[in-house]
């Protein structure tokens, strides 16, 4: 297994729309395993293939305290959502250190395929419902900061670009030694 590179907002590749998975093979299983390892290492509770620059409809999620309940969703779709809505403070591995409230349906039912190509459905509320919706947004090329005001979004973009420049400068200094 490998730790994959997570794209950081505002990388334009985060806005590519993922294509449905057509072949359920060993490559897909390895990608899911690498994504899970990357998510746990980050640490996070969800990761979409888009975030690791693979534009296929695959997400991994584990909202358990013990990090031993990995769920893999391939070609996921929301088949039902509650009228009740909730605001949840969301963060994102592609937008490190930033958390803000996003309003979403409080409960959802999602349909997807597992790694063997078998279809399943899951009903979710709380953190799992938020995570499913958040990761599915990535597959559509949407990052959670797009739910925020343009002012907040621009501040986040500026902050992350500044951090990226500082990191690049530190790497350059370290390489020169």
CA distance 72 to 129: 14
Is 15 labelled as part of a ligand binding site?
no
In this prediction, residue 31 carries a pLDDT of 98
Q: pTM value?
A: 0.94
Is 92 labelled as part of a ligand binding site?
yes
| pLDDT tens by residue, 35-81 | 999 999 999 999 999 999 999 999 999 999 999 999 999 999 999 99
Is 134 labelled as part of a ligand binding site?
yes
Domains for the chain: give ranges and CATH numbers.
12-148 (3.90.45.10)
CA distance 98 to 12: 18
Q: Position of tokens 């590749």? A: 13
pLDDT, averaged per 10 consecutive residues of the chain (177 residues), comes to 94 98 97 98 97 98 96 98 97 95 98 98 98 98 96 94 89 82
Active site positions, annotated: 135
């Amino acid at each position: 297994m490998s730790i994959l590179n997570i794209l950081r907002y505002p990388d334009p590749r985060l806005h590519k729309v993922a294509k449905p998975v057509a072949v359920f093979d060993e490559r897909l299983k390895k990608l899911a395993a690498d994504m899970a390892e990357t998510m746990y290492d980050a640490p996070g509770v969800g990761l979409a293939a888009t975030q690791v620059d693979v534009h296929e409809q695959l997400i991994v999620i584990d909202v358990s305290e013990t990090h031993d309940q990995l769920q893999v969703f391939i070609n996921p779709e929301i088949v039902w959502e509650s009228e009740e809505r909730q605001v949840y403070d969301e963060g994102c591995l592609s937008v490190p250190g930033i958390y803000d409230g996003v309003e979403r349906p409080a409960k959802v039912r999602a349909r997807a395929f597992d790694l063997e190509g078998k279809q399943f459905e899951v009903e979710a509320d709380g953190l799992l419902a938020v995570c499913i919706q958040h990761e599915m947004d990535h597959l559509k090329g949407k990052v959670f900061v797009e739910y925020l005001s343009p002012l907040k979004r621009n501040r986040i973009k500026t902050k992350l670009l500044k951090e990226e420049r500082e990191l690049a400068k530190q790497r350059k200094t370290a390489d020169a030694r």
